Amino acid sequence: MRDPLFQPIKINNLEVKNRIYMPAMHLGMADSYAVTDKLVDFYAERARGGAGMITIGFACVNNVGGGIWNLIGAHRDDLVPGLSRIAESIKAEGACCAVQINHAGANAFSAFMDGKQPVAPSDVPGMSRETPRSMTSHDIRQTIDDFAQAALRVKKAGFDAVEVIGAGGYLISQFLSLVTNKRDDEYGGSLENRMRFGLEVMQAVRQAVKEDFPIIVRINGNEFMPGGLNRKDLQTFARQLVEVGTVDAINVNVGWHQARVPQITSSVPRGMYAYLAKGIKQLVDVPVIASHRINDPITARELLADGLCDMTAMGRGLIADPYFPEKARTGNEQNIVHCIACAQGCFDALFRLAPVECLCNPKAGHECDRHIEKADQPKKVMVIGGGPAGMSAALAAKERGHNVTLYEKYGRLGGQLFLASAPPGRQEFAELANDLANQLIVNNVKVVLNKEVNLQLIENEKPETIILANGARSLTPGIPGVDRPNVVQAWDVLQGSVFTGQRIAVIGGGAVGIETALFLAEKGTLSPESVKFLLVNKAETPEDLYQLSTRGTKDIVLLEMLDRIGQDIGKSTRWGMIQDLERYGVSVQINSKALEITDEGIRVVSDSIEKLIPVDTVVLAAGAIPDTVLGQALKEKGIDFTLVGDVRKIGQAFDAVHDGFNVGRTV
C-alpha cells in the first residue's frame, strides 16, 4: 500500500512531491528585514532533508506591519534579491517554497517601528499592550494594497506560492474577531462585515499575482479567546475564501498567541488539533493543512489516511531533524530525532530577540558555523556519564572520527531527562533520551552500562581524552529536621522510588519543585482514557469530569523563598505550568522560608509571620549541585579532563546538549 505521507499533491498548478509542509516560523535570523547567509543555509538544509514544501516568514507588508529587525520583510523592492536567494536554495534541493506575508496590527511593537504607533481595527491593545490607532478607510485601502504588492514581490523573487496569515491574532484576525473589532462601519458588526477585510485582502492578492500562482491562507481553526470566534465561525470564513476563488489551500492554525490554551508545548498531545483541519476539509474543495504538534511519521500518516487533512505541517520537527522526511521515506524513521516541544531553543529564544536554536539538534541555526571536521589524528575518548551532555559529546566526538566509549553507572541512558519526563504532559523528554541513545547505536558509539568509572578503570583503559559528564546531585538544604524519615528528595519522588503521604509540602518553587508538585497532584485523577469512556457513555457530567480530572488524592503546598516561582522555566512553558498548579489545587506560597521540619509538619515564616503547616511528607526540591567527587579525584592525580553539562554548571537540558556537542566537536 502506498505511503500517504509521500504521495504528490497539487496546489493550484503546483505539484508538491509529498505531504510534508514546513510552515512559516519566526527564526530571528534576518538582518534589518534582509535575508542572511544563516537563513539561506538553514532552509537549504531542510529542503535537502526532503520536505515537500517550505514556507518562510512571516514577512511584513509595510513599515507599520509589526516586523522586527531580525525577521524578514516583503515591504520593499530592495529586499527581493535576498528573498530570491532563499527561493533558489530551496528549489535547488527539490522542495517547493512560499513566503508568508503578514501585518501584525495591534500585536506590533512601536519600539521596532521607529516609534510609530501600531494600527488596528479598533483601539484595543494586543500583545504589545500598546493602544493602537484605529484604522481609517484610507489605512484599510492602503494596507490591502500593501498585501497585494508584498505578494507580487514574493512572486518576483521566484517563490512557488504565497501564504497570507489571517490567524494568530494578527491584523486579519483582529478584523474577524469581536474581541478586537469594535467598529460600526462596513468592516465591523456582523460576521459578514468582519470578514470583509480578510476577503478583500485575498482578492487583491489574487489580482496581483494572477490566477495561476498558488495562494495559501493560514487561518485559525478556533481562536480559543473568551468572546472570540469559535470553529463554526471560522469554518464559515474558510468556505467564503474558497467560494470567492481567492485561495488554493488552507493552512489551519490553532488559537491566538494570547490564548490561554496550550498550543505548542509538550502537554499538547500529538496531532491534537487536527480535528480543526477536519472541520474545514469537510466544507471546502482545496487542500487543507493540519498543524501543531505533529512530530512523527506515524501521527502524520494517520491524519492523512483518516482524512483529517491533505498535508501535515511540521515546523519544529524539521528544526529538530531536517532529514526527518528522507528518513521516513527510506524506511529509517527509527533514526529520527524528534522535536519534544520543550520550546527552550526556539520560542523562548524569540522573547530574547535571539536566533532560533534547538535543544534536540545543536546544529540547528548553526548550519554555517558548526561544521564538524574530521580530526587529523583519531583519539581514544572516554565519556563518563550517559545523560544528555554525555551522549551529545560522544556523538560529536564520534562524528569527528574519534574512538569513543561512553560509560554510564546506571542501567539506562538519559539521566535527568527521565526525571523531566515524569510530570503530566512532559513525557516527550523521555523521547529525547531514547533518540539520543539510538543515535549512539546508529553511529557505532560503544556504550558500557552499569559501570561506575573510577581511577582504576581509567588507568586500565588509558584514554587519551576524558569528557566528564557525570551530572549533578540533589542539594540538601540546612533546615533543622531535614534528616527526618518524613523528608524525601524530589528526584526520588519523580523516579517513583519513594512514596509520600496525603499532605505534602514541596520546598522549592523552581522547575523541579513545580514538576514534582504537578506529578503528585495528578495522583488519583482520571486518566484520559477514563475521561473519554465516561464522557461517551454520558456517565458523568462534563463539569464533574473536569473536577475528577484535576482533583486528586493529595493536598500539596509549594513553598518558595523568592517572590516568584518557576524562574528557571522558559517563558513558553512557564505560564501553562503555573496555570496547571492552580487547576490542580496546589497551594503556592511565595516569600516563604522553611524554618524547621517536625513530626507534625513544617514551620515556615512568611511575611514575618511564623506558622506550622501540617503535612505528612516534606519533599526537597531545593536545587542541585555539580557532582565533583570524580573530578576532584582526577585533578588530584593530575589527569586531564573536560567538564560538560551539570557537572560544569547547573542548567537546562538545552545547555547540557549544546555544551556536550561543543566540547565533543573540538576534541
- Which CA distances in Å does 461 have to 57, 402, 456, 633? 52, 15, 9, 17
Query: Whose grid coordinates read 534576518?
Result: 30
CA angle 580, 582, 586 (to 5 degrees): 100
pTM: 0.95
- Contacts of 322 by beta carbon, 8 Å cutoff, 6+ apart: 45, 46, 48, 49, 361, 364
pLDDT tens per residue across span 231-290: 999 999 999 999 998 899 999 999 999 999 999 999 999 999 999 999 999 999 999 999
Report the alpha-carbon distance of residue 596 to residue 482 in Å, rounded.
Answer: 8
Q: Which residues of the chain carry a pLDDT beneath 70? A: 1
Question: Are 610 and 650 found together in one domain?
Answer: no
Tell me, what's the pLDDT at 517? 98
Residue 367 lies in a domain: no
Question: Are 224 and 300 found together in one domain?
Answer: yes
Tell me, what's the pLDDT at 402? 98
3-state secondary structure 223-240: CCCCCCCCHHHHHHHHHH
Question: Are 304 and 404 found together in one domain?
Answer: no
- Which CA distances in Å does 379 have to 340, 366, 446, 449, 657? 33, 26, 14, 22, 22
Q: What letter represents residue 200's amino acid?
A: E
Residue 347 lies in a domain: no
Question: Are 464 and 553 found together in one domain?
Answer: no
Residue 38 lies in a domain: yes
Query: Whose grid coordinates read 514581490?
Result: 153
Comparing CA positions, the residue from 387, 398, 430, 449 lying closest to residue 650 is 387
289 in Cβ contact with 269 (< 8 Å)? no
Range of the domain at 615: 476-622
Phi and psi for 655 in degrees, rounded to 5? -65, -40
Torsion, Cα of 77, 81, 87, 89 (10° steps): -170
Report the alpha-carbon distance of residue 643 to residue 155 in Å, rounded.
Answer: 51
How many structural domains compose the chain? Answer: 3
Residue 370 lies in a domain: no
Tell me, what's the pLDDT at 203? 97
Tell me, what's the pLDDT at 64? 85
Question: Are 568 and 660 found together in one domain?
Answer: no
Burial of 632 (0-12, 13-18, 19+ CB in 10 A): exposed
3-state secondary structure 535-579: HHCCCCCHHHHHHHHHCCCCEEEEECCCCCCCCCCCHHHHHHHHH
Report the alpha-carbon distance of residue 549 to residue 552 in Å, rounded.
Answer: 8
Tell me, what's the pLDDT at 283? 97
- Contacts of 7 by beta carbon, 8 Å cutoff, 6+ apart: 18, 19
Q: Which residues pair with 618 in a beta bridge?
A: 487, 505
Comparing CA positions, the residue from 334, 216, 332 lying closest to residue 284 is 216
- For 639, other C-beta atoms within 10 Å of its C-beta total 14
Tell me, what's the pLDDT at 112? 87
Report the alpha-carbon distance of residue 545 to residue 496 in Å, rounded.
Answer: 27
Question: Are 332 and 424 found together in one domain?
Answer: no
Question: Are 418 and 562 found together in one domain?
Answer: no
Residue 587 lies in a domain: yes
Give the CB-side neighbour count of residue 305, counting CA atoms within 13 A.
Answer: 12
Question: Are 189 and 261 found together in one domain?
Answer: yes
Residue 364 lies in a domain: no
Q: What letter represents residue 308's amino acid?
A: L
- Domain end marker among 310, 336, 362: 336
% of the chain beyond a pLDDT of 70: 100
- Residue 34 DSSP one-character state: B
Tell me, what's the pLDDT at 245? 85
Strand order in the sheet with 487-489: 487-489, 617-620, 503-507, 555-559, 587-589
Strand intervals (E) in 385-542:
403-407, 446-448, 465-468, 472-474, 487-489, 503-507
**CATH number of the domain enclosing 526:** 3.50.50.60
pLDDT tens per residue across span 21-66: 999 999 999 999 999 999 999 999 999 999 999 999 999 999 888 7
pLDDT tens per residue across span 555-605: 999 999 999 999 999 989 999 999 999 999 999 999 999 999 999 999 999
Q: What letter represents residue 36's amino acid?
A: T
Q: Which helix (H) or strand (E) holds 529?
A: helix 528-536
Question: Are 484 and 468 found together in one domain?
Answer: no
- Residue 434 DSSP one-character state: H
Tell me, what's the pLDDT at 128? 85
**CATH number of the domain enclosing 153:** 3.20.20.70
Residue 355 lies in a domain: no
- Contacts of 393 by beta carbon, 8 Å cutoff, 6+ apart: 383, 467, 469, 644, 660, 661, 663, 664
Q: What is the CA radius of gyration of the chain?
A: 27
Question: Are 617 and 636 found together in one domain?
Answer: no
Report the alpha-carbon distance of residue 397 to residue 381 in Å, rounded.
Answer: 8
Report the alpha-carbon distance of residue 12 to residue 215 in Å, rounded.
Answer: 8
Residue 366 lies in a domain: no
Give the CB-side neighbour count of residue 509, counting CA atoms within 13 A.
Answer: 25
Question: Are 596 and 642 found together in one domain?
Answer: no
644 in Cβ contact with 659 (< 8 Å)? yes
Question: Are 308 and 260 found together in one domain?
Answer: yes
The three-state secondary structure class of 428 is helix
Burial of 323 (0-12, 13-18, 19+ CB in 10 A): buried
